[in-house]
């Protein structure tokens, strides 16, 4: 049999075999773009936390010299680095303070939506039957319900605040996640390795959390990173309707919304907060991509 | 090619004229510079009109790549033809551009693939797909294309061809679909037909039909056929000449009879020796008394309801298993054989607790129905399963060491340290190095992965292991070693196996007892010698006859003609199929009345 003694007899080591015990973080840090993303996120978080220290002005102060003689906002200058808004307030300071609200919305609200959506989707997709039917019909119902109407109803019942906005966004955004996770869980549940676990006598929670959830990470991460920019903008819509971050408090979304009609005359008022949202979304995207690869052992050596 | 034997005695009386297809010094590589790796190296062969050339080899030998290169279908970016020529008549296919190649494909060289389920478009009718191919290459009207399509369907002996033209692929059985694929390939009367594992996904009886049709058409039309296969039985059955490939190189080539009779190369000899043969198992001693049964299965039924209508009521039922009873003796192997859809895998799943079932099942004296939750967990410990596909049955995101330790964790056995030691011992026992524990499943070959699955099944020291087509996906040489391992483990740990397979030769080699299933019921059951030596039921005989014999000298004169498709197991609700009554024809050999 010696001639046939191919790779089956002894273990083969692929040329790029990774050293087994490497941590997820180590693998994440090997990716340059992921590090860039982490740096950007850290910078945004720091500036939000340290806004009172680093902001050149009070975000709500309306400067007498913040407007031209005709009353229009100032373009970027030496005194106001990013220019001023319609009321003569310093845009840079408003963006720095607004980062607090936008981060809470983008991370907390979006994160809550992801968690709710994943749990509902996984449970409905794995157990199916009555539980699955009830959960998914409820998801369909939520999908059909206009988000803004829901937000206005909630705001009418509760006092408008940032946390209401976060709650509304979480309640509105989890449905898409649930749908996608549901269908993916259904197909994962049909995979043979799940059947193999069942024959070993593994409990449902073990199969769900140890074997199915890890396979959903890439989907959830994609949804999570896509969700950041949409939720930041959804918050702006809600603020615009008077449900949410109340003036004069700033958020990136409501800066854009307040000023969008003056886009031609004062483009910087839309450009800078827009760029901030883009940068944050991009940074989360990069980290998300890196995390997805780092969490998937089969991706090793393919990047 | 030092010892490459060139027996150019042209096989099967083909005229020694200019060959239809000549492949010369074909080298296919992947990667650039330092990463350049040859996948096929310096391969040469010729193909005469009306001849069947078999390219045989194990996975990774480059046989499929060769066929893709001839078709100009190498995946891009990726492998490419670096050197050599592929001449069809006067044209060098390697030099042709995509546009010219498109005219050659389908018209002069046609190809059929392994999986008839996926190579037909599910949303187009059979007729539409056939006429489309014809109209793309021939300047004919719709009526003429239809006539040609019908003609080619009749040529592959599809009954009621005109009606089939209006059907969709899912309405046809697997064998029927593969015949449609052949009809499609032959509609334009190509010079060369490449068949890449055309019968691997089919049952043996259907395989025999499809091979028969290929031979017949070749005889009438003079098409040259390149048949790519890993199955030496198929090679012996249909080939005129053979090229044996290994790791991208032709190891040996020549006419089929001398190659099987007196292979020149060690590799060919080893490959032929590894092929499981019918009749070889009988030598292994027959004195098997039935031991105390470790599992008793009585009147097992599995039904799947088909829902339909507005209210989602059960409109029909699939009787996957329609009442089977058998014992699995301790320390012995019982095999369930039958064709796809006969219920053998469903039986295995019911015993493993993966589907709900009716009837009585007890393992080691414990009846499964009456058990409490803790007892049921204990039952799970006693019955383990090894699945068909070692690629799919291991969670790709876990280290294999954790996967093998998992059954111990689930059942709360041992401390982490003890578990690690036990897993290391298991790895060693199944022939893997202990440091492999830290790797992930995708870093292993198919055979190694199946060893990991075996280690996993052994971890709980079960009394019964269900092996559901566990060696079907493996190359013959790997298959042979895995089967040897299973036998050793049986002797060592006293495990009983329920072995499920469609491969009669493998079953014949490993089993103590055999049960033949057909349409959810057992039609014949007995010791290996009884079932294979003196089959009583006509279905058993048909199954055994359909198995290709890896010996060109014993080629059958005529392939069995078409028998109708297997009747459906779908029935109206509350209308169970009639139970077959098994009668003992002597020494425990049970046969259903016909």
Instruction: Provide the pLDDT for residue B515.
Output: 94
Edge-to-edge, what's the strand order for the sheet holding B521-527?
B383-386, B464-468, B496-501, B333-337, B513-518, B521-527, B590-592, B582-584
CA-nearest residue to A215 within chain B is: B397
Instruction: With beta carbons less than 8 A apart as the criterion, state whether B429 and B437 touch.
Output: no
pLDDT of residue B563: 54
- Put simply, whether A9 touches B (Cβ < 8 Å) is yes
Chain A nearest-CA residue for B404: A200
Lowest-pLDDT range, A16-20, A244-248, B72-76, B266-270? Answer: A16-20
Contact state of B385 with A193 under an 8 Å Cβ cutoff? no
Cβ neighbours of A193 in B, within 8 Å: 392-396
DSSP B265: S
Structure tokens at B239: 């080939």
Look up the CATH number of the domain holding residue A93: 1.10.3720.10
pLDDT digits (tens, 9 = 90+) for B118-129: 788 889 998 998
B224, B51 contact by CB (below 8 A): yes
Q: What is the pLDDT of residue B206?
A: 79
A11 vs B448: CB contact, 8 Å cut-off?
yes
What is the nearest CA distance from B170 to chain A, expressed in angstroms?
21
In terms of pLDDT, which residue wins out, B59 or A95? A95
Instruction: Report if residue A111 sits inside a domain.
Output: yes
Cβ of A201 within 8 Å of Cβ of B381? The answer is: yes
Chain A closest-CA separation from residue B378 CA (Å): 9
**Residue among A136, A118, A139 at smallest CA distance from A188:** A118
Environment class of B587 (CB within 10 Å of its CB; exposed 0-12, middle 13-18, buried 19+): exposed
Instruction: Please identify which residue in the block is written with the tokens 């499964």.
Output: B368
Query: Closest Cα to residue A82, out of A240, A275, A300, A291?
Result: A275
**Domains of chain B (ranges plus CATH)?**
290-398+456-592 (3.40.50.300)
Residue B564's pLDDT is what? Answer: 56
Check: CB of residue A41 under 8 Å from CB of residue A283.
yes
Chain B residue with CA closest to A213: the answer is B397
Is residue A128 left, alpha or beta, with left meaning phi > 0 and alpha meaning psi from -120 to 50? Answer: left
**Residue A20 has what pLDDT?**
43
Q: Determine, for residues B393 and A21 on separate chains, whether the beta-carbon distance falls below 8 Å.
A: no
B183's tokens: 């009809």
Cα–chain center distance at A16: 33
Q: Is residue A163 part of a domain?
A: yes
Instruction: Quick: pLDDT tens for B325-374.
Output: 999 988 899 999 988 878 888 999 999 888 888 888 888 888 877 777 77
> Is B501 in contact with A30 (CB distance < 8 Å)?
no
B263 in A contact zone (CB under 8 Å): no
CA angle B511, B516, B236 (to 5 degrees): 70
Query: What number is the average pLDDT over the span B9-21?
Result: 59
| Tens digits of residue pLDDT in A116-137 | 999 999 999 998 889 999 999 9
Is the Cβ of A205 closer than 8 Å to some Cβ of chain B?
A: no
Query: Degrees (nearest 5) of the Cα angle B23, B28, B31?
Result: 170
- Contact residues for B468 (Cβ-Cβ < 8 A; gap 6+): B345, B348, B349, B385, B386, B387, B388, B500
Instruction: Select the more confidently predicted residue: B207 or B286.
Output: B207
Tokens of A270: 């839309």
The residue of chain A with its CA nearest to that of B251 is A3
Cα distance between residue A199 and residue B161, in whole Å = 45
Mutation pick from B390, B443, B469 vs chain A, by most beta carbons of A within 10 Å, is B443
Per-residue pLDDT band for B286 (boundaries 50, 70, 90) equals: very low
pLDDT tens-place string over residues A196-214: 998 888 888 999 988 999 8
Q: What is the pLDDT of residues B518-554, one digit of tens each?
A: 888 999 999 988 998 889 999 998 888 888 888 888 7
Average pLDDT, chain A: 82
Mean pLDDT over residues B77-96, rounded?
Answer: 86
What digits encode the pLDDT tens for the residues B152-188?
888 887 878 888 888 888 888 777 888 888 888 888 8
Residue A1 forms part of a structural domain: no
Count structural domains, chain A: 1
How many whole angstroms separate alpha carbon B267 and alpha carbon B244?
A: 9
Cβ contact (<8 Å) for A192 and B389? yes
**Contact: A193, B393; criterion CB under 8 Å:** yes
Q: Predicted confidence band at A86 (pLDDT cuts at 50, 70, 90)?
A: confident
Residue A112 CA, distance from chain mean position:
10
Distance CA(B504)–CA(B472), nearest Å, equals: 11
Which of B383, B443, B448 is closest, CB to CB, to A14? B443
Q: Quick one: average pLDDT of B409-429?
A: 91
Residue A153 lies in a domain: yes
- Token pair 């991370």 is found at A107
Asked if the C-beta of A144 comes within 8 angstroms of chain B's C-beta atoms, the answer is no
pLDDT confidence tier of residue B562, bands split at 50, 70 and 90: low
At residue B485, the pLDDT reads 92
Q: For B216-274, write each residue's pLDDT tens digit.
A: 888 888 899 999 988 888 898 889 999 999 888 999 999 999 989 889 999 998 888 88
Mark yes or no for CB contact B406/A202 under 8 Å. Answer: yes
Q: What is the pLDDT, as a whole number, of residue B4?
A: 42
For residue A174, the enclosing domain spans 24-55+78-299
- How many interface pairs between A and B have CB atoms less than 8 angstroms apart? 114
B323: contact with A, CB 8 A cutoff: no
Q: How much of chain A, in percent, has pLDDT values that exceed 90?
A: 20
**Is the CB of residue B481 less than 8 Å away from at least one CB of chain A?**
yes
Taking the Cβ of residue A298 and every Cβ of chain B, the question of whether any pair is shorter than 8 Å is answered with: yes
For residues A53 and A47, give the distance between their C-alpha atoms in angstroms, rounded to a whole number: 9
- Which tops the pLDDT comparison, A169 or B514? B514
Q: What is the DSSP letter of B105?
A: B
pLDDT digits (tens, 9 = 90+) for B489-512: 999 999 999 999 888 888 888 899
Q: At what angle do helices A91-103 and A213-240 cross, to 10 degrees?
A: 130
Q: Tokens for A68, please give them.
A: 């031209």
Q: Do A297 and B392 touch (CB under 8 A)?
A: no
Contact B396 A297 (CB under 8 A): yes
In this predicted structure, the answer to whether residue B13 has a pLDDT above a threshold of 70 is no
Report the pLDDT value the prediction gives residue B559, as an integer from 0 to 100.
63
- Backbone torsions φ then ψ of B98, nearest 5 degrees: -60, -40
Look at A3 and B392 and tell me if their CB atoms are within 8 Å.
Answer: no
Tokens representing B256? 């089929």
Determine, yes or no, domain membership for A71. no
CB contact under 8 A, A200 and B380: yes
Q: Do B406 and A200 touch (CB under 8 A)?
A: yes
pLDDT averaged over chain B?
84
Q: Which residue has the higher pLDDT, B147 or B308?
A: B147
Contact B518, B344 (CB under 8 A): no
Token pair of B302 as six digits: 């599995």
Reported confidence tier of residue B280, pLDDT bands at 50, 70, 90: low
Does the beta-carbon distance from B436 to A211 stay under 8 Å? no
Q: Which of B11, B190, B207, B10 is nearest to B103 (CA)?
A: B190
**What pLDDT is recorded for position B288?**
52
257-286 of A, contacting B, C-beta below 8 A: none
Q: Name the helix (H) or strand (E) containing B162.
A: helix B161-164
> Is A10 inside a domain boundary?
no
């Amino acid at each position: 049999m010696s001639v046939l003694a191919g790779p089956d007899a002894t273990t083969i080591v692929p040329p790029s075999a990774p050293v087994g015990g490497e941590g997820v973080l180590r693998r994440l840090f090997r990716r340059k773009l992921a590090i860039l993303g982490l740096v950007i996120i850290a910078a945004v978080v720091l500036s939000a936390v340290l806004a009172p220290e680093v902001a050149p002005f009070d975000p709500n102060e309306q400067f007498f010299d913040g407007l031209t003689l005709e009353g229009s906002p100032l373009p970027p200058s030496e005194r106001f680095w990013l220019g001023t808004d319609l009321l003569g307030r310093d845009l840079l300071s408003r963006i720095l303070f607004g980062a607090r609200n936008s981060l809470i919305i983008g991370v907390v609200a979006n994160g809550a939506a992801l968690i709710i959506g994943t749990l509902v989707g996984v449970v409905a997709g794995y157990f199916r039957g009555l539980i699955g039917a009830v959960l998914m019909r409820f998801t369909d119902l939520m999908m059909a319900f206009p988000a803004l109407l829901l937000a206005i109803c909630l705001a009418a019942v509760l006092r408008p605040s940032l946390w209401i906005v976060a709650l509304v966004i979480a309640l509105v955004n989890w449905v898409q996640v649930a749908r996608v996770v549901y269908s993916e869980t259904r197909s994962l549940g049909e995979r043979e390795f799940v059947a193999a676990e069942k024959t070993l006598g593994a409990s449902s929670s073990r199969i769900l959390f140890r074997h199915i959830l890890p396979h959903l990470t890439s989907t959830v991460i994609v949804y999570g990173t896509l969700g950041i920019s949409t939720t930041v903008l959804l918050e702006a819509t809600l603020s615009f309707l008077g449900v949410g971050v109340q003036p004069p408090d700033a958020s990136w979304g409501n800066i854009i919304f307040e000023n969008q009609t003056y886009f031609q005359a004062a483009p910087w008022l839309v450009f800078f907060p827009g760029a901030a949202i883009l940068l944050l979304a991009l940074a989360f995207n990069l980290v998300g991509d890196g995390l997805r690869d780092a969490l998937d052992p089969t991706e090793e050596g393919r990047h | 090619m030092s010892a490459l034997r060139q027996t150019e005695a042209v096989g099967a009386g083909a005229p020694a004229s200019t060959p239809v297809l000549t492949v010369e010094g074909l080298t296919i590589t992947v990667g650039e510079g330092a990463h350049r790796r040859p996948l096929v190296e310096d391969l040469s062969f010729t193909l005469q009109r009306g001849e069947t050339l078999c390219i045989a080899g194990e996975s990774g030998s480059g046989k499929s790549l060769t066929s893709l290169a001839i078709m100009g279908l190498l995946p891009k970016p990726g492998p490419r033809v670096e050197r050599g020529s592929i001449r069809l008549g006067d044209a060098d296919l390697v030099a042709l551009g995509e546009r010219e190649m498109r005219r050659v494909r389908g018209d002069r060289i046609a190809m059929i693939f392994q999986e008839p389920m996926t190579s037909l478009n599910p949303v187009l009718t059979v007729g539409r797909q056939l006429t489309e191919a014809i109209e793309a290459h021939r300047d004919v009207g719709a009526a003429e294309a239809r006539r040609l399509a019908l003609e080619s369907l009749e040529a592959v002996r599809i009954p009621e061809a005109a009606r089939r033209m209006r059907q969709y692929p899912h309405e046809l059985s697997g064998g029927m679909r593969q015949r449609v694929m052949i009809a499609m390939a032959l509609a334009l009367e190509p010079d060369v037909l490449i068949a890449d594992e055309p019968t691997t996904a089919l049952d043996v009886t259907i395989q025999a039909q499809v091979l028969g049709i290929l031979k017949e058409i070749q005889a009438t039309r003079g098409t040259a056929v390149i048949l790519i296969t890993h199955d030496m039985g198929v090679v012996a059955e249909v080939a005129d000449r053979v090229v044996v490939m290994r790791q991208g190189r032709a190891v040996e080539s020549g006419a089929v009879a001398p190659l099987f009779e007196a292979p020149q190369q060690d590799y060919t000899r080893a490959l032929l020796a590894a092929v499981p043969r019918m009749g070889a198992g009988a030598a292994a001693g027959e004195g098997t008394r039935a031991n105390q049964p470790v599992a008793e299965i009585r009147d097992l039924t599995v039904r799947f309801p088909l829902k339909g209508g507005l209210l989602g009521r059960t409109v029909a039922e699939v009787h996957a298993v329609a009442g089977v009873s058998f014992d699995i003796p301790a320390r012995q192997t019982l095999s369930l054989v039958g064709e796809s859809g006969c219920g053998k895998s469903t039986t295995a799943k019911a015993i493993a607790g993966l589907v709900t079932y009716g009837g009585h099942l007890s393992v080691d004296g414990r009846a499964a129905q009456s058990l409490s939750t803790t007892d049921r967990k204990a039952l799970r410990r006693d019955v383990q399963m090894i699945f068909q596909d070692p690629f799919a049955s291991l969670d790709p995101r876990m280290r294999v060491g954790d996967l093998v330790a998992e059954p111990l964790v689930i059942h709360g056995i041992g401390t982490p340290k003890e578990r690690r030691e036990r897993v290391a011992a298991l790895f060693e026992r199944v022939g893997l190095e202990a440091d492999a524990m830290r790797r992930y499943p995708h870093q292993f070959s198919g055979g190694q992965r199946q060893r990991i699955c075996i280690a996993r099944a052994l971890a709980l020291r079960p009394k019964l292991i269900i092996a559901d087509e566990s060696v079907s996906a493996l190359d013959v040489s790997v298959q042979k070693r895995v089967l040897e391992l299973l036998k050793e483990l049986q002797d060592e740990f006293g495990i009983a196996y329920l072995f499920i397979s469609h491969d009669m030769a493998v079953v014949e080699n490993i089993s103590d007892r055999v049960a033949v299933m057909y349409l959810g019921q057992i039609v014949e059951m007995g010791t290996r010698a009884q079932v294979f030596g003196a089959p009583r039921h006509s279905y058993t005989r048909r199954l055994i006859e359909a198995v290709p014999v890896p010996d060109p000298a014993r080629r059958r004169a005529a392939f069995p003609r078409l028998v109708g498709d297997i009747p459906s197991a779908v029935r109206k609700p509350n209308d169970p199929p009639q139970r077959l009554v098994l009668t003992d024809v002597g020494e425990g050999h049970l046969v259903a009345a016909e």
